[in-house]
């Protein structure tokens, strides 16, 4: 676990969050942080527990996403496996709350 504080900005809305964990995935440091969100890409309308995923080396900020239905990863291998389940749909990202 880490205590680093970051700011997530989407649709002109800023939220501060404390990074949950950082793992190496494909040579990149990737942050995993508990949050809640609505899986709008799947047609959901109810808020659910989720994991916010942020590639710290992504200069264009287009690799942010949310993973639903999983626990926080505890290893690089678990973190890498979650990347196959990431929801990067903009409307879903707009619903993130930390």
Does the pTM surpass 0.85? The reply is yes
Angle (CA) 79-81-86 rounded to 5° is 85
For residue range 39-94, list pLDDT tens digits in order. Answer: 999 999 999 999 999 988 875 555 689 999 999 999 999 999 999 999 999 999 99
Instruction: Look at residue 8 in the predicted model and tell me its pLDDT.
Output: 86
CB atoms near residue 7 (< 10 Å): 8
Whether the CA torsion 96, 53, 21, 5 is positive or negative: it is: negative
What residues does each domain of the chain span? 5-93
41: Cα separation from own chain's centroid: 15
């Amino acid at each position: 676990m880490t205590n680093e504080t970051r700011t997530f900005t989407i649709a002109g809305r800023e939220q501060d969050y404390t990074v949950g964990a950082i793992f190496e995935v494909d040579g990149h440091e990737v942050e995993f942080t508990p949050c809640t969100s609505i899986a709008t890409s799947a047609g959901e309308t109810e808020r659910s527990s989720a994991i916010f995923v942020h590639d710290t080396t992504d200069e264009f900020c287009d690799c942010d996403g949310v993973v639903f239905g999983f626990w926080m990863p505890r290893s690089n291998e678990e973190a890498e496996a979650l990347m196959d389940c990431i929801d990067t749909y903009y409307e879903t990202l707009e619903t993130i709350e930390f």
